[in-house]
Amino acid sequence: MVNRKRLADTFKWLVAIDSVSREEYEISQAIQTVLAGMGATIRVDDAASRIGGNAGNVIARFDGAPSVPPLMLNAHMDTVEPGRGVRAIFEDGVFRSDGKTILGADDKSAVAVIIETMRIIRERGLPCGPVEVVLTVCEEIGLMGAKHLDFSLISARYGYALDASNTEGIVTRAPAANRFEIRVHGKAAHAGAAPEDGVNAILLASQAVAILTLGRIDAETTCNIGTIEGGTATNIIPDRVTLRGEVRSHDTEKLKQITDTIVSTFERVISAAATPGRGALPRVEWDIHPDFPATRIDPGHPVVTLAQRAAKNLGRTIQPQSTGGGADANIFFDKGIVTGVLGTGMKDMHTVRESVALEDMVRMTELMLEILRLHTEQHLDKASGE
């Protein structure tokens, strides 16, 4: 049923359109044209003005049987750098870039699958309930599109985000995350002539970092300091250093506990370094920003059982999975839209080694078609009293 050549051509067409975060206008317009040509009603929200981008989130609604509740299908349109001038190479059934850029399978493989799915339904006149295709911007820079999505444009209460690798799993548990920025203030002085007059902010920050436990804290919690910036020259005692990092956990209490520990550790180290006569120095400041909420979907929820039934009908299996990453699905879940994350087979995302097999995209298209068929069938049966 799946037109493999057309699916491959759609994917190649999508990855050839540059769409790094905040620059999704061209691909947004191209996708809107395709979806509108298939009969979708298109709405674009005002996220662009709120996140400093040139395109908003696209919500494309396909009407269907009125007795069937709408189902949401989600993907994101943006890519990471290096994502300009992508040249897709197809060999041995696998798409790769030429090695100079990412491929963009994250998440254009998902967009291609959604387009092919809806094309088949429309061409064959297959029974289907309403489908709301939600294509976000700026997912790769902190889920910004989803965070600023106009949720009044979505009526579906559950659905699927196609934004993972494993074609035999559905992500039902994902962590919450906090981002933090810590600024340590010291005192500048000449490093050779009068080092004793200075307070080395980098030294104090490193003493605090050395106390912290970073990396894998436990099975459901991680912590990382990703950037450290400070100092102006090798002969100047640095008077300021800024550290940025994150904490993630499936347990919100652990998330708070680890975040509080980071702050209290810096406070303790800086306080211990205080010396009479230096006034308010050294000192520490911090900002904590909730990044995204946790997702926890019950294994018995229809979004899970529907995907499992569809897979079984195709002779496959779908298993609930836990992940350490965040996705648009986290934001949707927090807004009351239960969203399972499915995989398109993409590998080595965010690297120039990124790839995706055409067969995996075909398999995901087949799964989406069966999910939509079962979803429609079960609700039509209920409506008819069977």
Residue 136 CB partners (closer than 8 Å, separation 6+)? 57, 74, 75, 76, 77, 78, 143, 145, 146, 149, 328
Percent of the chain predicted with pLDDT > 70: 98
In this predicted structure, what is the pLDDT of residue 178? 97
What is the tens place of the pLDDT at every residue in 262-317? 999 999 999 999 887 666 799 999 999 999 999 999 999 999 999 999 999 999 99
- Which of 24, 45, 107, 139 is catalytic? The answer is 139
Note the pLDDT of residue 386: 54
Cα–Cα distance for residue pair 24/136, rounded to 1 Å? 9
Q: At residue 246, does pLDDT exceed 80? A: yes
The helix/strand/coil state of 309 is helix
Rounded to whole angstroms, the Cα distance separating 149 from 77 reads: 14
> Is position 78 annotated as part of the catalytic site?
yes
Kindly state the percentage of the chain with pLDDT values over 90. 96
Q: pLDDT category, 385, cuts 50, 70, 90?
A: low
The alpha-helical segments, DSSP class H, found in 251-354 are 252-272, 302-313, 328-334
Strand (E) or helix (H) holding 283: strand 283-292
From 23, 45, 78, 328, the catalytic residue: 78
Strand 319-322 to 221-230 pairing: unpaired
| Tokens of residue 50, six digits | 């709120």
